[in-house]
Structure 1
């Protein structure tokens, strides 16, 4: 950064590693999520949880994600948490 002035202070974007899933894997994950939890063995209720999605990713792609990582990944592929009203 030395000698770069204000340009050296500009954001380079978010830090951390990039997505470990390819575009094809992201598409496959989105398709699997659309099938619903029952199609993947969770028949007790029809809700995806972060833990379930992490397990699904591990099953499909042999990659482990933290729950926080799953949350960020879901946001990137267009899924968002849904709140149910009682």
Structure 2
């Protein structure tokens, strides 16, 4: 599996799916498993579900770096102290 799906004939994309792993296990071991059974086996072997990180091909890291240093810290700051109160417009919290 480390070599990727293209080695085993899936050239349209480079993602392992449970269906593909199920077919591959069937080809190699001549034992049929359900996708759920393959999921259990992979989990026991230490494999986990991974979601590919999508990034734009036009992404400009040099333009993003100053924004991350200057603007992002301001966005992360606390927006103010929140106090408990009543949600009712007619009844105010008496504290």
Bin for the TM-score computed over the shorter chain: 0.5 to 0.7
Matching of residue 53 in structure 1 with residue 8 in structure 2: no
Superposed CA RMSD in Å reads 1.0
Count of residues paired in the alignment:
54
**TM-score (ref. length: structure 2):** 0.54
Runs of at least 4 residues of structure 1 off by over 3 A?
none
Deviations 1:22-69 (A, max 9, x none): xxxxxxxxxxx1111000000000000000000000000001110110
**Any gaps of 5 or more consecutive residues in structure 2?**
55-95
- Pick one of 47, 67, 71 that aligns with 2:39: 71
**Any gaps of 5 or more consecutive residues in structure 1?**
1-32
Query: Which structure is higher in helix share?
Result: 1
